[in-house]
Structure 1
Amino acid sequence: MYRYAHKNVRPFSAVCQNNYGRQVIFTRKRQITKNNIIEELNKALVIHEQNAIEIEYLDRYYRGDQPILYRQKVNRPEINNKIAVNLAYELVERKTAEMCAEPIQYVLRGTDNHKSEEITQLNITMDSESKQECDIDIHRWRSICGTGYRFIGNDDGQGQLLDESDFSLSSENPMYTFVVYYSNGRPAFSCQIGEDENGADIYYVFTDNEWFDVRNDKIYASGINGNRAIPVIEYPNNARRLSDIEMTIAITDAINVLTSDRINGVEQFVSAWVKFVNCEIDIDTFRKMRQEGALVVKSNNGSDNKADVDVMTSELNQTEGQVVFTDLFERFLSIQGLANRQGNTGGDTGSAVELRNGHYDAGLRTAINEPILKKSERMALRLILNRLRINKGFTLMPSDVEIHINHNKLDNMLVKAEVFEILLRCGINYKRAVKTIDMFSDPEQVALESAKRMEMLFPEEQPTTATPNNNNNDKTADE
């Protein structure tokens, strides 16, 4: 087994011992201080080590290292195809694209012009920090192993050339990062595991008020946490920290076995054995006759035991195999809430196709996942806004900001444009209308750029008194 160290030889159920989902780490302490941080860190590391083993397995599975690649055959071991149909990769990429194909935007609640400019600047700052790239990596980790982490760090003048912000955003590897919680669910402390130049472990720990550099069970350095919040934010995939991969990992393993055996069946049919009945032939003679394409054999005992030569063939029923494969694949799509690629059979409307092929269900699955994501985004937003208030004089509060997760903007564009026109004619504020129709990735920027024209076409204050011309028209009408 040592030759397969850190390889996915065993099924995942054996690695996690059927305890699916990553275990959430809790502390019973009411407050974490320098007096108890070493003890609590060591307790947390015991649980995190098991989580890390499972995370590594799922990450390798996503990259194609799956148990089928280590399968050994006893019967005809020379025919042993190992086909890994990497549905885990497709699953993770589709789940990630549903959330992050478009940048997550911050939208203002209300119509305050000053705050509208601030929120536009906030979106620009996030774009300059490549937040979308960071988001994509976090959501990949969420889908792969059930959780992801964002670290909001200091640039300290060491940022890139012409870096306009004083903070940095990064996605942390969950194998080397974790957060410990109090019993009420509030974060107690975070830990990031690194190495020194000699390969020894370093534990960087943050609480709300302090930071610690822990080495060899001792506090090597410590200081005040100026963020007044833990800068490591956890982004769980769901409350149980279940990864998308492990929900259907038994099905994907079965599909790998079925696909490999179907290829084996074809190869065994092509490489069938030759059967000799009541005759003897040496290997050299057989090889010569096989090259000539004909065999000449004699019976061992005259007409009593007639000689016969035949090819032993037993072809695998590919039709029945396809039925099993289709059933497994449909169950995979159903459990994961993914749409299939079935074509239009004729006569269907667009809405009917969405319902039949699972696009509607996929949208619902994405919708119920959004509040979990927004909760973590709001925790990160509080920390970022606090920095901007101190360093840039921002007045934005978290309650002023609506987190907008963008999806496909090309769907039903004509309908959205018609709804937009109706809303404006009904007297809805143009900023609210732009946000409602969900046509633009950055509705706040669109509203800001369109402000002058919109206010001219649809002024907020309508005239309340009649004009002279209106009076004359009324008088003429009366006459």
Structure 2
Amino acid sequence: MAIIRDRSFMADDGTVPIELLISCINEHQQNLTRLNKLDEYYRGEHLILERPDSQTGLPNNKLVANHAKYITDIAVGYVLGNPVKYDNVDLIVDLYKELDISSHDSEIGKDLSIFGVGRELYYLSSDDVPVPKVTCIDPRQIFLVVDDTVEYKSMFGVHYYERMDIDGKPDGYKVFVYTDTTITEYVTDELDGGYELVGSQEHYWGAVPVVEFWNNEEQMGDFEGVLTLIDAYNALASDRLNDKDQFVDAILKIWGVSLGDDEAEASQTIQLLKKLKVLELPSSEAGADWLTKQLNEEQVEVLRNALKSDIHEFSMVPDLTDKNFAANASGVAMKYKLFGMEQLAVTKERYFKQGLRERLEMFGRMLGVKGQRVDTSKVQITMTRNLPVNDLEVAQLINLLIDRVSDETLISLLSFVDDPAAEIKKVRAQRKEAAKRQQAAFGMPFDDSDRVTDKDEDDGNEK
């Protein structure tokens, strides 16, 4: 989350005093333990791996069922699997295509799902003709500082990371400070002091070129609330396998017979038993059986299913491998099954759009500096869920709504059509060409005087 400070701590010339910079970095460092833990769980480094080995030689399996990664990957794919669409802002849309902004959105969405926050840094490329660009930076290396007013206006951003020497070993830190007008670079051996100024330069973004995205109001990751359940599931799975191993390593209990007079003779007898698989007993009073641990698989399976169900219930990300998600389920039935995840997606979308609007404003200001005026206030942002679509159902629906809903709206329902307006033009051109061929076949002159032009469509008239 953003760090809050009183604006009066800034210098009169708008620069950031070293004392303020050190204070903010120290506060950001205090949150790294939590962020590191969330990143470890996504990568499969769970608490079960830290369980100490048995001192008695008993089995000690350490199984990781990585529900954390599953939750993040499904949630991000559901919300951002389809590219975000923008209307009424052609200049920025063209720039977004050059930057492959949809891939960037997935990257920032992944940070949101893991850490609860995501942060973007805006910069100009080093080309002969600089191009405005954006990059997603690990929230453990960048933060934003805002003032303590109700508007929480950005004061400055800080990007810092370890620098490496020629052998790839840590050699102090690089620190970049971004205000609304300048970028200042420092180097230091320790983050708590000894900052050396490298240089400072102006930028032209018109604001602090760092934007913070939120996953939700609490800025929590999607699986952060079920970490204890994930640990319990891992422990149960590991102990279940331990019991299986102990069952295989059962002890053979023998009475009424001796395997040998000394240890060497007994050892030889045991080896023969393993090889021949036959045990001869001298009398009916002698016997042998296995000393095993009794396993109650039914109870263990009930507990495993309960934990798995709770993980998906409280994270609001369903288990898509469950038998309830049948391939022949209707679109409406699928929506009911995904109702919980849709509530999660609605929250994620609401906060994500706030960040997208800040991004639009940043690019709009930069394009304005280059003489390309862009009004981003009227841009419409559309986010479409990434769901399997039953195009047959949709086609039947379209057939029922013909002449009741506009063609563009109907065609927009089709999952394989990206640009409904362009598709309508193609259909009309195809019909026109078909009519022309038909009239030519009957020796009739082709008359296109009754065609509908684009301008007529705008005016609502037909010629």
Q: CA deviation at 1:210?
A: 2.5
1:461 deviation in Å? 3.2
CA deviation vs aligned residue, 1:269-301 (integer Å, no higher than 9, x gap): 1111223447664351333333332345779xx
CA contact (8 A) 2:162 2:173 kept: yes
1:124 to 90, 94, 119: 94
- The structure-2 alpha-carbon separation of the partners of 1:463 and 1:35, relative to structure 1 and needing over 3 Å to count, comes to closer
The alpha carbon displacement at 1:201 in A equals 0.6
CA shift for structure 1 position 373: 0.2
1:212 and 2:196 matched: no
Which structure 1 residue ranges, 5 or more long, are not aligned? 1-22, 109-118, 159-163, 468-479
Contact 1:192 1:203 in 2 (8 A): yes
- Aligned pair in 2 of structure 1 residues 55, 139: CA closer, same or farther (>3 Å)? same
Q: Of 203, 207, 210, which aligns to 1:232? A: 210
Specify the alignment match of 2:122 in structure 1. Answer: 152
In the TM superposition, residue 129 of structure 1 has moved relative to its aligned partner by 0.9
Tell me which residue corresponds to 2:300.
321
Letter in 1 for 2:361: R
Residue 261 of structure 1 pairs with residue 239 of structure 2: yes
CA pair 190-279 structure 1, distance change in 2 beyond 3 A:
farther
2:173: which partner in 1?
201
- Do residues 83 (structure 1) and 95 (structure 2) align? no
Q: Percent identity?
A: 22
Tell me: CA distance 1:382–1:129, structure 2 relative to 1, closer, same or farther (3 Å).
same
Shift of 1:123: 2.2
| CA displacement 1:308-358 (0-9 Å, x = unmatched) | 432111232122111111111111111111233433599x962563366x3
CA distance in 2, matches of 1:196, 1:345: 49
Q: Shift of the alpha carbon at 1:57?
A: 2.2
Kindly indicate whether the alpha-carbon contact (under 8 Å) linking 2:353 and 2:381 is maintained by their aligned counterparts in 1. Answer: yes
Q: Deviations over 1:441-469 (max 9, x none)?
A: 754xx4356469596498343459xx9xx
Q: Secondary structure at the match of 1:136?
A: helix
Question: Is the partner of 2:294 in helix, strand or coil?
Answer: coil
Mapped contact 2:155–2:179 kept (Cα < 8 A): yes
Most deviating of 213-222 and 83-92: 213-222
Question: Separation in 2 of the partners of 1:186 and 1:441?
Answer: 41
Contact 1:105 1:442 in 2 (8 A): no
Contact 1:96 1:136 in 2 (8 A): yes
The alignment's TM-score, normalised by the length of structure 2, stands at 0.79
**8 Å contact 2:9–2:20 — kept in the other structure?**
no
Per the alignment, do residues 225 and 121 of structure 1 end up closer, same or farther by CA in structure 2, a change over 3 Å counting? Answer: closer
CA 1:435–1:226 in 2, change beyond 3 Å: closer, same or farther?
A: farther
* In structure 1, distance between residues paired with 2:331 and 2:461: 43
Structure 2: stretches of 5+ with no match in the other structure: 166-170, 188-193, 430-451
SS, match of residue 400 in structure 1? coil
Q: Distance in 2 between matches of 1:75 and 1:196?
A: 42
Given that 1:177 and 1:192 are in contact with CA atoms closer than 8 Å, whether structure 2 keeps it comes out as yes
Report the count of equivalent residues: 416
Shift of 1:105: 1.8
Partner-residue secondary structure (3-state), 2:184: strand
Residue 237 of structure 2 aligns to which amino acid in structure 1? T
Structure 1 counterpart of 2:27, from 30, 41, 47:
47
2:46 aligns with 66
Q: Deviations over 1:13-45 (max 9, x none)?
A: xxxxxxxxxx54211234634664312221111
How big is the shift at 1:412?
A: 5.0
Matched-pair contact (CA < 8 Å) for 2:39–2:115 = yes
- Determine the C-alpha separation between the residues in 1 that align with 2:308 and 2:133: 42
Q: CA deviation digits over 1:85-140, x for unaligned, max 9?
A: 111111111011012211112122xxxxxxxxxx3443232122121221111111
Please report how far the alpha carbon of residue 84 of structure 1 lies from its aligned counterpart in structure 2 after TM superposition.
Answer: 0.6
Residues 451, 327 of structure 1: alpha-carbon distance in 2 compared, 3 angstrom cutoff: same
User: Quick one: structure 1 residues 322 and 427, their matched pair in 2 at CA, closer, same or farther if it must change by over 3 Å?
Assistant: closer
Residue type of the partner of 2:236? L
Select which of 71, 75, 81 maps to 1:101: 81
- Whether the 8 Å contact between 1:176 and 1:194 is mirrored in structure 2 is yes
Alignment partners' CA distance in 2, 1:188 and 1:409: 40
Counterpart-to-counterpart distance in 2, 1:101 and 1:372: 17
SS at match of 2:133: strand
**Which one of 355, 378, 396 corresponds to residue 400 of structure 1?**
378
Q: How far apart, CA to CA, are the structure 1 residues paired with 2:294 and 2:7?
A: 65
CA RMSD of aligned residues (A): 3.4
CA contact under 8 A between 2:78 and 2:387: conserved in structure 1? no
After superposition, the Cα gap between the structure-2 partners of 1:237 and 1:167, relative to the gap in structure 1 and judged at 3 Å, is same
Does the aligned pair in 2 maintain the 1:154–1:168 contact within 8 Å?
A: yes
The answer to whether 1:311 aligns with 2:283 is no
- Tell me if the contact between 1:151 and 1:170 (Cα under 8 Å) persists in the aligned partners: yes
Residue 250 of structure 1 is matched in structure 2 by: 228
Alignment deviations for residues 49-96 of structure 1 (CA, whole Å, 9 cap, x no partner): 122232222212211111212323537534111111111111111011
How far apart are the structure 2 equivalents of 1:330 and 1:261?
Answer: 19
Would you say the 8 A contact 1:149–1:233 is kept in 2? Answer: yes
Q: Distance in 2 between matches of 1:169 and 1:74?
A: 50
Q: 1:152 to 1:419 in 2, by over 3 A?
A: farther
* CA shift in 2, pair 1:397/1:149, >3 Å: same
1:461 aligns with 2:459: yes
TM-score when scaled to structure 1?
Answer: 0.76
Q: CA deviation at 1:252?
A: 0.8
Query: Letter of the aligned partner of 2:147 in structure 1?
Result: Y
